[in-house]
Copies of this chain bind each other. A is one copy, B any other.
Amino acid sequence: MFSKACEYAIRSTIYIAEQSNLDKRVSITDIAKAIDSPEAFTAKILQQLSKNQIIDSIKGPNGGFSIEKKNMRNLKLSQIVLAIDGDSIYKGCGLGFKECSEKQPCPVHNKFKIVRDELKYMLENTTILELSLGLKEGLTFLHR
């Protein structure tokens, strides 16, 4: 569905949100351990998230990553996916045709449209806040 990079991006963001709700800033090392991901690779992805203003980053002692509480409920999964994997999951043809469109649809166009729209709706209406609350309440997990 998504690239590994995007999976790690989503995991990271949810974890950072959870910790930011406890007013804790987290380091790359913390994050990689918490979400069970390769640290250096995760660092690269955090850079992208920071550049896209999805997370905040502070250098130096007591530095680390965070998300402002007031932004969490407006931050949607779709923004992370767009920043890391681009818009191909929304706009791309199911069979990979660049020329595929409503006017000139590929054989699976209309079948896929239903699923893609459902996915799009879900990503655009799921907030990082609600996902981090599930974690906090012990209903969901970010590791084994």
- Which chain A residues have a beta carbon within 8 Å of chain B's beta carbons? 1-2, 4, 7, 10-11, 14, 36, 77, 89, 92, 94-100, 104-109, 111-112, 114-115, 118-119, 122, 126, 131-132, 134-135, 139-144
Docked Cα-Cα span, A1 to B106, in Å, equals 15
Docked Cα-Cα span, A111 to B121, in Å, equals 11
Docked Cα-Cα span, A142 to B77, in Å, equals 33
Docked Cα-Cα span, A99 to B140, in Å, equals 12
Docked Cα-Cα span, A64 to B94, in Å, equals 26
Docked Cα-Cα span, A114 to B115, in Å, equals 10
Docked Cα-Cα span, A132 to B95, in Å, equals 14
* A115:B107 contact, CB within 8 angstroms: no
Q: List residues of chain B with CB within 8 A of the CB of A2.
A: 94
Can you list 13 A-B contacts with CB-CB less than 8 angstroms, sorted by A residue number?
A1-B89, A1-B92, A2-B94, A11-B95, A14-B107, A77-B111, A97-B144, A104-B141, A105-B139, A105-B140, A105-B141, A107-B132, A108-B126
